[in-house]
Amino acid sequence: MRSVSGLLIAALLAAALPTAVEAQQTEIRISHQWRQNTDARDRAARVFAEEASKLEPSLKFRIYPNRSLISDPIAQFDALTNGSIEMAVYPLVYGVGKVPEFSITIMPGTVPSMDYAMKLKGTAFHKKLQEIAEANGIRVMTWWWTPGGFATKDRAITGPKSVEGLRMRAADPYMERVLQANGASIVSMPSTEIYPALQSGVLDGLMTSSESFVSMRIYEQTKHATAGGDYVLFMLLQPLVISKQAWDKLTPAQKDAMEKAATKSEEFFNGLQREASDKMVEQFKKAGNDVRALSKQEYDAWVASAKEVAWPHFVANTKHGKELLELIQNPAKGS
């Protein structure tokens, strides 16, 4: 009788084991607005998910591209902070309505190149930005930066005064201030709305990342582009972020796997971005656009305008603006 009872108990334990293992699994949903398997942000998110799952099998990821989980890209911030979703590829600049300091991640004249952006990882600037993000409910997982430029329908963008009279999209209030100071009017929208806005005549021109210019086929609606070259005015941090609520629930092993996967995804993503401007130039030329790069004189004029009309306003209107500006200009300081 004891033998039969022992066998029965063993069988019951064996049957319960899969349930116990399953209970330890953590499903992570990753939301974003870009096209599946085309845009580097989607591809890098898949690299991250694959690597993290390989390192820690208890992590399971489901990726929702092309606004398939949340239709409004900007609303992903609220969904992250209230725990409705776990992760998103989220340009921090989309969250400036809630966290004004996030404008530093696109502030004109502060990050002139991909090499400079990479040097910022692990610095006091990076740590301060992470501190601000976590205080507002999210954690920055990846250091993904995208270079970009201008595209317009009727005339090429050169120095600041070349935007006079144009209806422009710039993605951030401080870049908008620079454009407005030089005579442009502003139309605000997420990048996914740019194509129809150009098509309908709502927009004359815009600034966005080289990646978005190509993946969203903006070249079909424009005639001029200013991109490439040695002087980059548009540099934007577009990281994979995780809800602080979700992060705090992870085990140490899961967190470690995610951190290692983030590094792997950065190698993949940032390697692609070094070529993104060249691909943008190639695609725009192929579509019949006239393409040029900013000269040093033009770039310096843009930076001077930003320092005059954007930087002081950022310092005056954000709690940590002065510190962030100082740290981003001096990567070695405090690191």
Q: Average pLDDT of 216-237?
A: 95
Q: Is the pLDDT of residue 2 over 80?
A: no
Task: State both tokens at 95.
Answer: 């969250």
How far apart are alpha carbons 122 and 41 in whole angstroms? 21
At residue 190, the pLDDT reads 83
Helices (H) and strands (E) in the chain, counts: 13, 12
At residue 334, the pLDDT reads 58
At residue 75, the pLDDT reads 95
Q: Is there a domain that residue 118 lies in?
A: yes
Task: State both tokens at 274.
Answer: 């070094």
Split at pLDDT 50, 70, 90, the class of 17 is very low
Main-chain dihedrals φ then ψ at residue 294, nearest 5 degrees: -70, 135
Q: Average pLDDT of 282-307?
A: 97
Q: Is there a domain that residue 57 lies in?
A: yes
Of all residues in the chain, what percent are helix, strand and coil, respectively (each to 5)? 55, 15, 30
Write out the E strands in the chain: 26-31, 59-64, 87-89, 138-140, 145-152, 167-169, 185-186, 205-209, 224-226, 235-237, 240-243, 290-292
How far apart are alpha carbons 298 and 317 in whole angstroms? 28
pLDDT digits (tens, 9 = 90+) for 312-331: 999 999 999 999 999 999 98
Main-chain dihedrals φ then ψ at residue 238, nearest 5 degrees: -125, 75
Q: Is the pLDDT of residue 22 over 70?
A: no
Q: Is there a domain that residue 164 lies in?
A: yes
Q: Is there a domain that residue 8 lies in?
A: no
At residue 333, the pLDDT reads 72
How far apart are alpha carbons 111 and 161 in whole angstroms? 22
Give residue for tokens 């934007």: 236
How far apart are alpha carbons 301 and 158 in whole angstroms? 10
Q: Average pLDDT of 32-40?
A: 92
Complete DSSP assignment for 208-260: EEHHHHHHTTGGGS-SEEE--SS--S-EEE--EEEEHHHHHHS-HHHHHHHHH
Q: Is there a domain that residue 5 lies in?
A: no
Nearest by Cα to 159 from 178, 137, 186: 178
At residue 322, the pLDDT reads 97
Q: Are 171 and 106 in contact (CB under 8 A)?
A: yes
3-class secondary-structure state, position 291: strand
Q: Is there a domain that residue 163 lies in?
A: yes
Q: Domain containing 56 — which CATH number?
A: 3.40.190.170
Amino acid of residue 118: M
Report the relative pairing of strands 167-169 and 185-186 from DSSP bridges.
parallel
Question: What residues make up the domain containing 227?
Answer: 26-329
Q: Is there a domain that residue 335 lies in?
A: no
pLDDT digits (tens, 9 = 90+) for 245-279: 999 999 999 999 999 999 999 999 998 988 888 99
Q: Is the pLDDT of residue 18 over 80?
A: no
| Count of domains for the chain | 1
Split at pLDDT 50, 70, 90, the class of 152 is very high
Residue 123's contacts (CB-CB under 8 Å, 6 or more residues apart) are: 327, 331, 332, 333, 334, 335
Q: Is there a domain that residue 167 lies in?
A: yes
